[in-house]
Structure 1
Amino acid sequence: MKTCLSTVLLILSFCSAHLFAQEVDTVPINTKGMEIKLKRSPLPSRQGPLNFEPVNIKPLVVNAKVNYWKTKTNIGINVNQAQFSNNWKGGGTNSVAVGGLINYKAEYSKDSYSYVSEVILQYGKIKNKDQLQKKTNDRIYWDNKASFQLSKSWFFFGSVTFESQFDSGYRYYRDGNGDEQQVLISRFMAPGYLTESVGFEYKPVKYFSTRIGTGTARQTFVLDTAVYENKNEVYAVEKGKNIKNELAFQVVTAFDKDIFTNTNLKARYAMFIPYKDFQAKKIDHRLDIALTAKINRFMNTSLTGVMLFDDDTGTNKIQASQTLALGFAFTFPR
């Protein structure tokens, strides 16, 4: 028992001495009059006031020009050929067909003003054995439109459109000997059409638009009397006058969009309603449709069709044409 008490007293004495030593180490010491040198601080010290001077920085000038024009050119060439030997029992006729297409479009857009010019040139011919050459396609189309934006989807526009053909067109028949003969019925500027129109255009999206030409004038030209074929009037132009003027209300709707991957649908419908002699049979309708599928970089296939109703052409029935072609296509710029 005495041993245990002695051990406890020793432990308490040691702890008390340790605590006293700590209290002594933390006792403040008066350093007044003592020469104590502190180490110099590595941080810079401010000597006097700071002076700020402006620095002239030259502006960076970018030498770039804004181009408000966009152009696109499509060139297509189609070639079809068929050849049969003299003893071919399946029947057939040797033939060669060639067709070409040039489509040029230029667009200018700045602020609320825009201008679009589009040129479509088409020509094709076919030659069958023991037959005369015949056209498969022939068209000159040039449309120019300037517009000013009134709201998000409405524009005020003015346009000038020219239409005609390159080559002579013929009506074919067989004579008494069975030989094929031809009679001239059309050629360049016989007929030719020049249409001026002003009105409003509705364009809610980039690929669809509708022009409403409240003030439209059209001139029909027949500058070659050989197409009259002993008639006093062709294409509603009297012989000897060469030109006919009409005032009308016009609607033109256009659609141009890639409906599938590498497949484009382009359609244009035009309706021409003359103010004078207004009758249902005097309203002109024309629908152009082109479906083009791209096979690779240089080849495509196209299906085109035209439906036309124009009493001035000498028939009061719907006229139609259709072409299916496989050929080469080039687009600039790529």
Structure 2
Amino acid sequence: MKRISTLFLLLFLAGNLIAQTEAELIPADTSYWLKEISGGLNLNQGSFSSNWQGGGVNSIAVGTYLNGRANYAKDKWTWDNTMDFAYGIVKNKDEDGRKSTDRIYLDSKIGYKINDKWNYFFAVNFLSQFAPGYDFGEDEKTLISKFLNPGYLTTSLGFEYKPNDEFSLRISPLAPRWTFVTDTELYTNVENNYGVEVGKKVRTEWLAFNLLADWNKKLSENLTLKMRYQMFANYETLAFDTIDHRLDLGLEAKVSNLINVSLTSLSIYDIDQDDKIQFSQGLALGISFKRGNFPEE
């Protein structure tokens, strides 16, 4: 009996030693990172027979997007990074291909928690497009934009209100912005040259106010609403009609693991581009993917 007790004691001690050794061999999760990448491809096509009486034109449209985010959090410090790329083209019969969407959006923000809802933050934001854009006339097309024509680099320092994981509001009383137009001949096609002085490639606005609101709401199991609003005001030229506004809206419905339907819209008011509100919208059906370790909302 004594030998059996001794054997059980040895087995118990050995088991504890093995378990402790295995625990020491498994490294603790100290990455503090959440990462995600998603993308998709949308295709729209329409065709008509030569005797179709309802009117119409053969067309094909292709669009693609790639989104990513990588967020770090440890103690009171956070570092959030966002990437939003989109490009699409539409081709109608007997016409050149034309862009339907073109977006480069990069954002990086470092935050320090004040309390459960408020943070200090410093952020860098970049906005431009990939490919040349044209104004199509009856007989010719005119170049009006391309990569870094224009491009916007905005830095901001201020306070962030974040009551939950769905909504955030950045308020920055100090937000210098650089507007790039690297093609010094573009002013011949764009009269106001996106606010950059003719002959120069960069306009610097040191004294400015910036506001950015983000709202990602899961309306149901397969329906998601995304909204991003940006406002920029130059203190030196401050007037109601000189404040820039940009509103991105997106509604995405997931049909299956691969198939989704999306409705997007973009509204811009920038007097350096046009004195009226610019608006675009798109509806697409396509395939999509998502990979990452963010928890399900």
Q: TM-score, normalised by structure 1?
A: 0.79
- Give the equivalent residue in structure 2 for 1:268: 228
Q: Bigger relative contact order, structure 1 or 2, given CA contacts below 8 A and separation 6+?
A: 2
- Give the equivalent residue in structure 1 for 2:9: none
Residue 226 of structure 1: how far off its partner (Å): 3.6
- Give the equivalent residue in structure 2 for 1:84: 48
The separation in 1 between residues aligned to 2:135 and 2:155, in whole angstroms, is 31
The separation in 2 between residues aligned to 1:296 and 1:230, in whole angstroms, is 45
Deviates more, 1:159-168 or 1:79-88: 79-88
Structure 2 spans left out of the alignment, 5+ residues: 1-12
Q: Is the contact made by 1:290 and 1:302 (CA closer than 8 Å) also made in structure 2?
A: yes
- Give the equivalent residue in structure 1 for 2:249: 289
Pairing of 1:83-232 with structure 2 (within 5 A):
83-174=47-138, 180-229=139-188
- Structure 1 consecutive aligned stretches of length 4 or more whose deviation exceeds 4 Å: 55-59
Deviation string 1:148-193 (CA, Å, 9 cap, x unpaired) is 101111100000011110000111111xxxxx42100010000001
Residue 307 of structure 1: how far off its partner (Å): 1.1
Q: Could you say which structure has the larger radius of gyration? A: 1
Residue 85 of structure 1: how far off its partner (Å): 2.1
- Give the equivalent residue in structure 2 for 1:31: none
Identity %: 42
Residue 231 of structure 1: how far off its partner (Å): 6.0
The separation in 2 between residues aligned to 1:65 and 1:198, in whole angstroms, is 34
Specify which of 248, 253, 263 is matched with residue 208 of structure 2: 248
Q: Is the contact made by 1:232 and 1:239 (CA closer than 8 Å) also made in structure 2?
A: no
The separation in 1 between residues aligned to 2:100 and 2:154, in whole angstroms, is 25
What letter corresponds to residue 198 of structure 2 in structure 1?
K
Structure 1 spans left out of the alignment, 5+ residues: 1-54, 175-179
Q: TM-score, normalised by structure 2?
A: 0.88
Residue 260 of structure 1: how far off its partner (Å): 1.4
Residue 249 of structure 1: how far off its partner (Å): 0.8
DSSP 3-state at the match of 2:163: strand
Tell me the number of residue pairs that the alignment of Structure 1 and Structure 2 aligns.
274
DSSP 3-state at the match of 2:137: strand
Deviation string 1:266-292 (CA, Å, 9 cap, x unpaired) is 101111111111111110111111110
Q: Is the contact made by 1:184 and 1:226 (CA closer than 8 Å) also made in structure 2?
A: no
The separation in 2 between residues aligned to 1:265 and 1:307, in whole angstroms, is 16
